Amino acid sequence: MKDKAQPRRRHRVRAWQLGLVGLLMPMALGSAAQTPGAVQPAPASAHPETMTAFPPPTDGRPMQMPPPAATMPLAADFDVRRFEAMAQAMVADQRVPGLAMAIVHNGRVLSARGYGITDVRAAEPVDAHTVFRLASLSKSFAGTLAGVLVSEGALRWDSKVVDYMPGLQLSDPGAAGRITVADVLSHRVGLGRHTYDRDIERGADYNALVQKLAQAPMTCEPGDCYSYQNVAFSLVGDVVFATSGQFYNEAVSRRLFKPLGMNDASLGLEGIQASARWAKPHVRAGKGWSSLMPKPTYYRVSPAAGVNASIADMAQWLIAQGGHRPDVLPAPLLSTLHAPIVGTPGEMRSRSASWRGQRLNAAGYGLGWRIYDYAGHRMVFHGGAVQGYRGLMALLPERDLGLVVLWNSESSLPSGLLPTILDSAIGLQSDRWLDVDIESLYAAGERPSQGQTAGGGTSVSRAQPE
């Protein structure tokens, strides 16, 4: 009985995979820049959250996401000043202490501004060069840096991690030897979700936790399933060092920050503290906010959560990810980074009242990026959260639009800016993602004036609860 049921189950799983691939992967097989000649990786086993990953090309190249046939214009009522007014409303009466937002289109910065204050205890206005902690938005830098090394021929997506870390072990004998660079960057190492994150939060050392991976239970074979990681994701930093001879933080700075003109960007706790102006993290304190010093914990897993950047930096990052800096990030690399590898349908099953529950038709993860079907439109996305900081960034390739929102508190209020702007770009009738009466703001003349770097909300009055 068991033997007969198994083929039927695999057939149903395969049908589910094909449906998800149909939604998310209208892609062509292209040439990813990497050296030929490697043995083709084995196709991933059927799993309810696994898309077909990298099987067709004989030299191990991954599938790629083709560029849009033609860039579509933004909807007629797309109004940047309206979105700036919304951002300004977020910091009114310190509903959130500080916020920064950038919108880029066709390789140009439409807006990159700061709103509110850096610290309720020592108020300075947030501007375009105020540095925020990016948390898991950092994963896009790790995937991109690995891709640069692939483009240079120094690394392959299907390179085995143990070739660079011979001492790596997992609890399943032999499993460590099967983990590829692409598996690490797409959260397919086979470990349970958030393995050893609590240890990181308690101050554990990254290298000690890498050794401890040999004791962590496995939920599947490497490459077979998605399970979000921070410690295991950061193995890519060791691979970068072994491949390039540069420490991970140094490599990110030299190969990404400097050539892209991300002049405020840094890595690590020392990096943010050395910034000329930076936003302090804030947590709830009664009906208001209390600022803290950033914790060093997740900075210890730098590829997963180590980057700090200003909104001016992030505008340049989105422009580059949109294909407008081929001198640094070639188009074949971007199409590979932005292609889904593994399905993440759980993102649509939860938070049904949020934009994820209402707008997403399919969800997947690529190489340091999430890839969504947002109301029928492909979106490349990542979010991030660590104590006192939040951030969201997204690209709509068909519109050549990018946007990022960073804020220095644990409030969820600014997250509604992202679907509001996306809906407007696409021309959808927007749900009320924000509890802001923008029309009354217009009537009161509170829109930021053209060219202004907004820094409103500088009073230190106590915020009202959400």
- pLDDT over 80 at 32, yes or no: no
Query: So what's the pLDDT on residue 402?
Result: 98
Query: So what's the pLDDT on residue 68?
Result: 72
Q: Residue 236 falls within a domain, yes or no?
A: no
- pLDDT over 90 at 457, yes or no: no
Distance CA 457, CA 81 (A): 18
Q: Residue 377 falls within a domain, yes or no?
A: yes
Letter for the amino acid at 103?
Answer: I
- pLDDT over 50 at 57, yes or no: no
Sheet (strand 401-407) strand order: 108-116, 98-105, 401-407, 389-396, 377-386, 370-374, 360-365, 342-343
Q: Residue 159 falls within a domain, yes or no?
A: no
Contacts 24+ apart (CB under 8 A), 270-273: 271/308, 272/131, 272/133, 272/308
- pLDDT over 60 at 274, yes or no: yes
Q: Residue 154 falls within a domain, yes or no?
A: no
- Phi-psi group of 57: left, alpha or beta (phi > 0 → left; psi -120 to 50 → alpha; rest → beta): beta
| Token pair of 423 as six digits | 């809906």
Query: So what's the pLDDT on residue 116?
Result: 98
Q: How many structural domains compose the chain? A: 1
Q: Residue 416 falls within a domain, yes or no?
A: yes
Q: Residue 17 falls within a domain, yes or no?
A: no
- pLDDT tens-digit series, residues 178-205: 999 999 999 999 999 999 999 999 999 9
Distance CA 416, CA 358 (A): 13
DSSP 302-313: HHHH-EEEEHHH
Give Cα separations from 189 to 20, 168, 171, 207, 253 (angstroms).
Answer: 21, 12, 12, 17, 27
Mean pLDDT to the nearest integer, 321-336: 96
| Token pair of 205 as six digits | 């050392």
Q: What is the pTM of this model?
A: 0.84
Query: So what's the pLDDT on residue 430?
Result: 76
- pLDDT tens-digit series, residues 231-240: 999 999 999 9
Give Cα separations from 19 to 16, 49, 51, 78, 357 (angstroms).
Answer: 5, 12, 10, 33, 19
Per the listing, tokens 């040439």 go with 31
Domain that holds residue 433: 80-136+247-441
Q: Parallel, antiparallel, or unpaired: how do β-strands 401-407 and 282-285 relate?
A: unpaired
CATH number of the domain that residue 274 is part of: 3.40.710.10
Chain center to CA of 457: 28
Query: So what's the pLDDT on residue 21?
Result: 40
- pLDDT tens-digit series, residues 341-378: 999 988 887 655 689 989 999 999 999 999 999 999 99
Q: How confident is the model at residue 465 (pLDDT cuts 50, 70, 90)?
A: very low
Q: Residue 447 falls within a domain, yes or no?
A: no
Q: Is 438 exposed, middle or buried (0-12, 13-18, 19+ CB in 10 A)?
A: middle
- pLDDT tens-digit series, residues 389-433: 999 999 999 999 999 999 999 999 999 999 999 999 999 987 789
- pLDDT tens-digit series, residues 276-291: 999 999 999 998 999 9
Give Cα separations from 279 to 111, 140, 273 (angstroms).
Answer: 19, 21, 10
Q: Which residues contact 15 (CB under 8 A, 6 or more apart)?
A: none
Q: Residue 338 falls within a domain, yes or no?
A: yes
Beta bridge partners of 288: 285
- pLDDT tens-digit series, residues 134-151: 999 999 999 999 999 999
- pLDDT over 60 at 36, yes or no: no
* H helices, E strands: number in the chain: 17, 13
- pLDDT tens-digit series, residues 66-83: 677 678 999 999 999 999
